[in-house]
């Protein structure tokens, strides 16, 4: 089978770029730890409260160390349960200072949902039986919309929350 000289050059150039490209994303993933979220931790979708992180009193934002936060969230059609405030009203906004490190832990007690903090790198599938987990540093101040970005039923577009990053 004959390959034209130009085609050889073209393919060598293409394959070289491909190899370099794969090396870069592989390096970032395995050495820099930027893998997409995968924790393979399971949970009973019909009894998420049995898990320490998803007990009703543990939902919402918690500061675990200076500048380090954990947010526990239970998704269900068509709501994110982020706990309730002192008056007993459901929390809709997560407020953290700029520069803080936030670990989002999300699970679902019914169907598949999405969890994206639009404008950041936090973007996860949330599936029944699994815990989705991603840590990020909130570098920019502002209001970020949290959207369910996986179809979960006819109220899918009404499922949202807000992350507010404020200047200290």
Partner 1 sequence: MNKHLNFTKKESRLYMSFMYVTFASLLIGGLMGLLQTFARSGKFQLPFGINYYTILTVHGVILGLVLTTFFIIGFQFALLGKTVGLSDKQRKWAWISFWTMLIGTVIAAVTILVGQANVLYTFYAPLRAHVAFYIGLALVIVGSWIAVFTNFRQLYVWKKAHPGEKSPLLAFMVTINMAMWFIASLGVAASVLIQFIPWSLGYAETINVLLSRTLFWYFGHPLVYFWLLPAYMAWYAIIPKIIGGKLFSDSLARLSFILLLMFSIPVGFHHQLTEPGIDPTWKFIQVVLTFMVVIPTLMTAFSIFATFETTGRRKGYKSLFGWFRHLPWKDVRFLAPFIGMVAFIPGGAGGIVNASHQVNTLIHNTIWVTGHFHLTVATTVILTYFGVAYWLVPHLTGRRLTPKLNKLGIIQTIIWTLGMTIMSTSMHIQGLLGGPRRSNFSNYAGGAQVDTWINYQIAQAVGGTILFVAIILMTYIFIQLAFFAPRGVQEFPIAEEEIDAEPTPKILENWYLWIGITIALILFAYTIPVIDILKHSPPGSIPFDWPIGR
By CB under 8 A, is residue 50 in contact with partner 1? no
By CB under 8 A, is residue 56 in contact with partner 1? no
Q: Which one, of 139, 161, 138, 136, lies nearest residue 148 by Cα?
A: 161
Candidates 27-35, 51-59, 61-69, 82-90 — which segment interacts with partner 1 by CB under 8 A?
27-35
Quick check: 103 and 69 in contact, CB under 8 A? yes
Do strands 142-147 and 160-166 pair parallel, antiparallel, or not at all (unpaired)?
antiparallel
Residue among 67 and 128 whose Cβ is closer to partner 1 = 128
Minimum CB–partner distance for residue 62 and partner 1 (Å): 21
Residue among 59 and 163 whose Cβ is closer to partner 1 = 163
Q: How many residues bind partner 1 (CB under 8 A)?
A: 72
Look-up of token digits 């009404």:
158
Residue among 57 and 126 whose Cβ is closer to partner 1 = 126
Residue among 3 and 87 whose Cβ is closer to partner 1 = 3
Minimum CB–partner distance for residue 66 and partner 1 (Å): 27
Site for partner 1 in 64-103 (CB under 8 A): 77-78, 92-93
* Binding characters for partner 1, 100-139, by CB under 8 A (x = yes): ----------xxx-x-x-xx-x-xxxxxxxxxxx------
Among 16, 27, 38, 139, binds partner 1 (CB under 8 A): 38
């Amino acid at each position: 089978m004959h390959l034209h000289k130009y085609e050889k050059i073209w393919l060598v150039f293409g394959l070289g770029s491909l190899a370099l490209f794969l090396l870069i994303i592989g390096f970032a993933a395995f050495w820099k730890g930027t893998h997409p979220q995968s924790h393979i931790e399971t949970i009973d979708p019909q009894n998420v409260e049995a898990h320490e992180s998803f007990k009703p009193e543990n939902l919402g934002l918690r500061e675990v160390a200076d500048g380090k936060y954990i947010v526990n969230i239970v998704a269900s059609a068509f709501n994110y349960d982020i706990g309730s405030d002192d008056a007993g009203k459901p929390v809709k906004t997560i407020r953290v200072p700029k520069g803080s490190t936030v670990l989002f832990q999300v699970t679902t007690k019914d169907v598949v949902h999405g969890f994206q903090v639009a404008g950041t790198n936090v973007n996860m599938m949330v599936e029944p039986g699994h815990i989705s987990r991603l840590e990020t540093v909130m570098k920019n101040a502002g209001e970020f919309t949290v959207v369910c970005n996986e179809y979960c039923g006819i109220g899918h577009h009404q499922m949202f929350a807000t992350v507010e990053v404020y200047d200290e």
